[in-house]
Structure 1
Amino acid sequence: MHPKNFVICDVEKEYARNLMQAISARKELGFQMHLFQNLEHLEAFSKKKEIHILLLGEDYPAGKRKEISANVRYVLVKGEEKGLLPDEKGIYKYQSADMILTRILEDSMDGGELLRHKEGRGGQLIGIYSPVHRIGKTRFALELGKELSKEGPVLYLNLEEYSGMDYYFPQNTGQNLGDLLYYIRQDKGNLGLRISAMAGQTGGLDYVAPIPVIQDLRAVGEEEWLRLFEEIFSNCMYKHVILDLGDGIRGLYPILRACRTVYTLYTDDPVSQAKLRQYSENLRVTGFEDVLEHTVQKKVQVKAGDL
């Protein structure tokens, strides 16, 4: 499918540029961004290219706005919604770019055909797991994700019983991985847009907050996890999905088998070595020896505060 044309037109040039840059950062959406200030130029563009989403400032007269053809039209209002055309939706201008984008994505999910997400192109599932605890696994996973995000969109998912996410990601997006699994169980569709609406972002890395209650995490079955990963790659543009894995999830070994690469951290102390040997032997006796074939064992130096 071709990229969706997302057009912003506003008299405040700096505002419009900053908004465009914020939306452009969400690479997984696959939008082709366009910026205008002159309505005549925008009208000429609309006659040559299909505009899928249009954000238009309220400063432009309604009689001029109606000349612009677009699939979905929003007017950036500064206060009370006045003088909107029948096919226009008002959206408050002076709020965060994330809130503006969330409103648009939620409308798109409700409208079904108003906006169809780009088809996924597949990607790599990367697992971070170690039988040795307090070894800096989460820190390693996040740094790896930020580095890989330089090559393309990356999603980080924490599947630990105690994730410590308030420390790593203090921003509360209001929804978590449990909500995402619920949408899949209900066959809600538009998973790519749903993830985009609920995902937070740091350093170019997308993340969905983990399940906060241990019992809820343990209740998720192996098949549900595997279906989630499949749906993400089928409906999203993520090049990599990084799984920060703990011992408490069901189906740990099948999930490790599904990963393209597994990073297993260890240290050179005797206890760490003994745990690593026991883990490797468990994989062999349970029929998951092939996990070791795509495992990269990485020796680390543990620092105070590592998790």
Structure 2
Amino acid sequence: MRKIRAAICDEEELYCSRLVEYLQANQSEMVEACVCSQKKELKKLLLESGVDVVLMTEDFFAPDILSYGGVIFALLGDEMVSEEYREYPCILKYQKAPEILRGICRLAGERLDDTKMVSVLGKEKRSVAFYSPHQEFSQMYLAMGYAKICAAKERVLYLNLMECAGFEELFEEKYKENIGDFLFYLRRQEKNLRLRFESMLHQFGDVDYLPPVFFGEILREAGKEDYQALLVWLLVETDYDVIVWDLGGMFAGFFDLLEQCAEIYCLTRENQGAKQRLGQFLQCVEEYGGAALRERLHLIPVSGQCVISQGKSLMQELEWGEFGDYIRKQLKGGANVEGAGG
């Protein structure tokens, strides 16, 4: 699959050098970006290699540059855009480098022709689900820790389908789009879905994730066919080895999704209420999928309080702290989790 080629152009050399460092370490799977600090570098790039998207400051706007056809030209600027440049899309210059790349992906996804993207079937992949009938509060951290540990050896995508997951506070991040938006794009079969998907991706550690919905009711509004379409699209159009589904409740097509998971981790507690809810859930599993589904279901007992550090130490604790050790001990059936029992 050919990557979208992008040029980011700014005469401020310090800005360019720092951006180059980021791009070299974090090149996007979908976007191959380079930095130009002079007009002659951009002209050479346009002439020799072909560029899909050019993101540039006002200093680079010139008739001989804008004359190249089949290229998306966008302004790298601030919120105060001069009138002569308002016809061009604008991406803010002074924001985090990942946001700039996501902006390029959004722009390309909206404007580039579908023929630039080619769908390919990826290698063998597996889906893993986490669920708690009594809505165990530590489930999210367990699923995230599992994803983080697997990401040491494999490419992992984490999808949180919970109401009020709290990611904005957890990661101190404001998300422009989330998984609800992608379900909408997928339902409408909008062009360049792969680029739209790429533009939404965020990371914790080596794990990619789509931000959870902000309004939980969106999860109920989506239908069975929406979640099935999402699963199929991820399996066909991406090259993740593992897709981790962190489930908060039963939505339309809930058991259809579970049936396509290689492993299902179900968190339980010893109190009477949790046991009652677990019992009913197990009955539902038997009635829907029988023994074939039940044998992929692993019960994980939870006791005491789960205290997880926030901020920068969260990722280390999920993987290597006491909680990481707990994950390795409890997640049976996860052959790719180092140290997990079979």
Q: For this structure pair, what is the TM-score category when the shorter chain's length is used for normalisation?
A: 0.7 to 0.9
**What corresponds to 2:260 in structure 1?**
258
Which residue is 1:14 aligned to? 14
* Mapped pair 1:191 → 2:193: yes
- Counterpart for residue 212 of structure 1: 215
* Partner of residue 94, structure 1: 94
Q: Sort the Cα spacing of 1:194 and 1:68 in 2 relative to 1 into closer, same or farther, 3 A.
A: closer
Amino acid corresponding to residue 16 of structure 2 in structure 1 = A
C-alpha displacement of 1:197: 3.5
AA aligned opposite 1:111:
R
Q: Is the 8 A contact 2:31 2:105 kept in 1?
A: no
CA distance in 2, matches of 1:248, 1:73: 45
Deviations along 1:153-203, one digit per CA (max 9) or x if unpaired, are 543322234534455355231444333322223222322222334444443
Stretch of structure 1 that moved more, 175-184 or 32-41: 32-41
- 3-state SS of 1:223 partner: helix
How far apart are residue 110 of structure 1 and its match? 2.9
SS at structure 1 position matched to 2:289: coil
Pick from 289, 302, 305 the counterpart of residue 303 of structure 1.
305
For 2:2, the equivalent position in structure 1 comes to 2
Q: Percent identity among equivalent residues?
A: 23
Q: Which runs of 5+ in 2 are unaligned?
A: 309-342
- Match of residue 161 from structure 2: 159
Matched residues in 1 for 2:43 and 2:194: separation?
30
Q: What 5-or-longer segments of structure 1 have no aligned partner?
A: none
Counterpart of 1:110 in structure 2 is: 110
Q: Are 2:79 and 1:76 equivalent residues in the alignment?
A: no
**Distance in structure 2 (CA, Å) of the matches to 1:273 and 1:91:** 52
Paired amino acid for 1:207: L
Distance 1:70 1:57 in 2: 20
Confirm or deny: 8 A CA contact 2:168 2:175 kept in the other structure.
no
- The residue aligned with 1:243 is 245
One-letter amino acid matched to 1:228: L
- CA displacement 1:24-79 (0-9 Å, x = unmatched): 77766422233343554554454442322233444457377469887333343466
The equivalent of 1:124 in structure 2 is 126
Distance in 1 between the 2:117 and 2:24 partners?
Answer: 15
Counterpart contact for 1:159–1:249, Cα < 8 Å = no
Q: Residue 35 in 1 paired to residue 38 in 2?
A: no
Superposition CA RMSD, Å:
3.9
The aligned residue for residue 231 of structure 1 is 233
Aligned to 1:50: 50
- Inter-partner Cα distance in structure 2 for 1:58 and 1:192: 30
Q: CA–CA distance in 1 between the matches of 2:114 and 2:43?
A: 21
Other-structure match for 1:287: 289
Partner Cα separation in structure 2 for residue 42 and residue 141 of structure 1: 45
SS of residue paired to 1:184: helix
> Contact between 2:131 and 2:267, CA under 8 Å: does it hold in 1?
yes
Q: Is the 8 A contact 1:28 1:238 kept in 2?
A: no
How far apart, CA to CA, are the structure 2 residues paired with 1:26 and 1:260? 30
Tell me if structure 1 keeps the 8 A contact 2:114–2:191: no
SS state at 1:172 partner? coil
Deviation at 1:17, TM superposition (A): 3.8
Tell whether the 8 Å contact from 1:28 to 1:153 is kept in structure 2 after alignment: no
**TM-score, L = length of structure 2:** 0.69
Q: Structure 1 length as normaliser, TM-score?
A: 0.75
Instruction: Report the CA distance shift for 1:254/1:81 in structure 2 as closer, same or farther (over 3 A).
Output: same
CA–CA distance in structure 1, aligned partners of residues 149 and 36 of structure 2: 33
**Cα distance in 2 for residues equivalent to 1:152 and 1:5:** 26
Shift of 1:112: 3.7
Counterpart-to-counterpart distance in 2, 1:233 and 1:17: 37
Q: Is the 8 A contact 2:136 2:268 kept in 1?
A: no
